[in-house]
């Protein structure tokens, strides 16, 4: 079953994370965005992955986000959604 990962990351981590995901063979779409709570620079990545690869993809995101100075500021927010229908034309 196909899943979509929506990951909200810091701008500074986005390049490295998306390169790592592309290297793994996932297709990634990047959207510039702003965080609502603290208004920092944030980017949104959308990636389509197979169900069994979700954990692996999240691990890749985790490994490529630099640690933050303040522990309460999260490095990434990740939503995993079920994809009802997927097609590439």
Contact status: 24 vs other proteins (CB under 8 A) = no
Contact status: 20 vs other proteins (CB under 8 A) = no
Task: HSE, CB side, 13 Å, CA atoms: give it for residue 16.
Answer: 12
**How many Cβ atoms are within 10 Å of 66's Cβ, its own excluded?**
10
Task: HSE, CB side, 13 Å, CA atoms: give it for residue 61.
Answer: 26
CB of 19 to other proteins, least distance (A): 18
Contact status: 69 vs other proteins (CB under 8 A) = no
CB of 88 to other proteins, least distance (A): 20
Question: Per the structure block, which two tokens stand in for 82?
Answer: 């079920």
Q: Please report, as ranges, the residues that interact with other proteins according to CB under 8 A.
A: 3, 6, 8, 31-37, 42, 44, 54, 58, 61-62, 65, 71-72, 74-82
């Amino acid at each position: 079953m196909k899943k979509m990962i929506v990951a909200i990351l810091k701008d500074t981590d986005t390049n490295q994370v998306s390169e790592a995901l592309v290297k793994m063979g996932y297709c990634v779409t990047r959207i510039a965005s702003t965080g609502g709570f603290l208004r920092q620079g944030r980017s949104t990545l959308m990636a389509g992955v197979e169900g069994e690869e979700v954990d692996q993809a999240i691990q890749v995101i985790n490994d490529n986000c630099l640690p933050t100075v303040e522990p309460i500021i999260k490095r990434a927010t990740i939503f995993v959604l079920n994809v009802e229908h997927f097609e590439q034309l």
